Structure 1
Amino acid sequence: MNTYSIKSHNIHLQVYALGNIQARTAVLFLHGGPGSGAMPVIELPAFQAFEKDYLCLHFDQRGSGKSNYDLKEGLPIELITDDVLAVVKDSKERYNFTSLFLWGGSFGGCLASLCMERFPSEFNGVILSSPAITFSREQALDFYKRMSAPYQKRMDPSMQNELQPLDDPTPEAFFSLSKVRDFIFSPQNTISSIQHIAAMSSWFFNHVFPYLFDEASIPTLILQGKEDPICLYQNIDQQISMTSNKLIQYHLLESCGHAVFEDQKEIFIDLIKTFIEDTLSASSSSIQS
């Protein structure tokens, strides 16, 4: 494994390169959490299975792992997607691959979707695995209600009482409260991912993706567990049913929760490898014709 850091704006991002360094095809993996860091993904057998055939690139996202950053400064869309672009550009100069695929799981799927909106031409294809994305404000607020219950229960009872009469129950109002932010960024908070959510709260529940699939300009593979309690399959199902974009390939997996790569490991590996090889084959045929 090659480890090194690259600069993006005001920080250094920790990058990990594994697998076949001389491969002509690379896959950039965006971890979830948000804030879990790259190492939990790197250590999973499902992801190690790609190392024989591809150059596998990972990095600790801003404020995660060894990419140190003060999350109280916020995580705007432009900044976190610029970080991905910095890794992409550095990797294209550093290695000899000719094709690059982007994988994003959970929050990484949200980040990958943002990259699809900003700079899709950098990739030959994108894989979204249980992506933490919504397609309407209503869905986003439902997502907020389901995910907020666990961490609100951990707050001091006096703070919970203060939150009850909020005139504006939206996530933006919740995360803007000074007492809430003080708690979230204090040692008393044991849920690190909520710090990242707070840092993104100005946009995370407002930036929805109603046209993501319709406007996709590169091959896109979507893997979704039918028993996912975090990212409800019904939302993606509904959106897929309304698109006729032939670049979208969707697989709803039975007996599968949020971690597709653990619950359906072999299917996960096979679908991604097939998608990559089919995409490259179609591209080669197009060039020859």
Structure 2
Amino acid sequence: MFVEVNGARLFVDIEGSSLVVDGPAMRGKPTLVLLHGGPGFDHSGFKPTFSQLSDIAQIVYVDHRGSGRSIGDDPATWNLAQWGDDVKGLCDALGIAKPIVYGVSFGGFVAQSFATRHPDHLSRLILTSTAAKVDFPTIFAAFERLGGPAARAAAEAYWLGPSAETRARYFEVCLPLYRRHPGDPAAFKRAIIRNDVAIWFNGPHNEQGRMDFRADLARITCPVLVLAGEMDPITPIAFSETIAQSLTNSAVQFERFDDCGHGVIGDHPERAMDLIRRFIEAVV
């Protein structure tokens, strides 16, 4: 379905009920809002893995403005302040109070924007394979360690000069290095990808290079779960260490994953999903 939010039409899918029968009463479940990576990708990468959590939470999948199936094609609105406010607007439109927000990669940027701009609105926050501040030389060095000079060159070419050509080469050479174990080859085919949004946002000369949530993370007071892979080249684990250190007013649970790349769940699904489940179940 589509929901009108801040002048955009966001594609939303909802899995599971918010109220369940519990003997003589109806028991409410928390709502888990999932923010996908990208930018320009869609929510399909969460399916079917996150469906297993529908017994303990109502799950809201959403494509960010300008991404996937959502409509919001004015580049002037492709910015983290707007994407963060869209999460608040979506929750308001759907009547969601105190959601648990999960952000992975770029979705983690959006989650930090939402949580720092609207810190009283969420109950818990999960940040996976993301960054409060991006350091591109660290990324280039990580790709070189995993893929040699060719991977570094492809990474530098795209991130320092985002274009359709450099992005195609980056997908060919660098994307296979994101994970330690091969993923489902059909998953990439299922995704709707808007390369223009990524080219607009990515790189040190665009908003990705300017963003810095480190000081603002102190505004967040809810519990936060941080998940990161030791072998992640695009959001190296040092980025997550910085996030954990910056959350000075939150109860932070920082979980490292050995021999694990970007997104964590693709390489270590059982441990990652168990941690997420336990974190959700702790909601009072």
- TM-score by length of structure 2 reads 0.73
2:11 is matched with 14
Superposed, which structure 2 residues align to 1:1-289 within 5 Å?
4-22=1-19, 23-41=28-46, 43-45=47-49, 47-70=50-73, 72-73=75-76, 75-92=78-95, 99-131=98-130, 133-135=131-133, 139-140=135-136, 142-143=138-139, 149-150=153-154, 171=160, 174=161, 192=193, 194-200=195-201, 202-238=206-242, 240=244, 245=249, 247-278=251-282, 280-281=283-284
Root mean square deviation, CA, Å: 3.2
| Aligned structure 1 segments of 4 or more residues deviating by more than 3 angstroms | 71-74, 140-154, 188-194, 212-215, 238-246
Q: Is the 8 A contact 1:140 1:206 kept in 2?
A: no
Residue 33 to residue 82, structure 1, CA distance change in 2 (3 Å) = same
Letter in 2 for 1:50: L
In 1, Cα distance between the equivalents of 2:154 and 2:74? 21
What is the CA-CA distance between 1:143 and the residue it aligns to? 4.2
- Residues 20-61 of structure 1: CA distance to partner in whole angstroms, max 9, x if unpaired? 3424211000011222111221x232x111112210001111
Query: Unaligned stretches of 5+ in structure 1?
Result: 155-169, 282-289
Q: Is the 8 A contact 2:31 2:60 kept in 1?
A: yes
- State the structure with more CA Rg: 1
1:166 is matched with none
Q: Is the 8 A contact 1:28 1:101 kept in 2?
A: yes
What is the CA-CA distance between 1:153 and the residue it aligns to? 6.0
In 2, Cα distance between the equivalents of 1:71 and 1:189? 27
Query: Unaligned stretches of 5+ in structure 2?
Result: 20-27, 144-150, 172-192
In 2, Cα distance between the equivalents of 1:272 and 1:35? 25
What is the CA-CA distance between 1:197 and the residue it aligns to? 2.9
Letter in 2 for 1:122: H
The SS at the match of 2:265 is helix
The SS at the match of 2:111 is helix
- Aligned pair count reads 244
Identity value in percent: 22
- TM-score by length of structure 1 reads 0.72
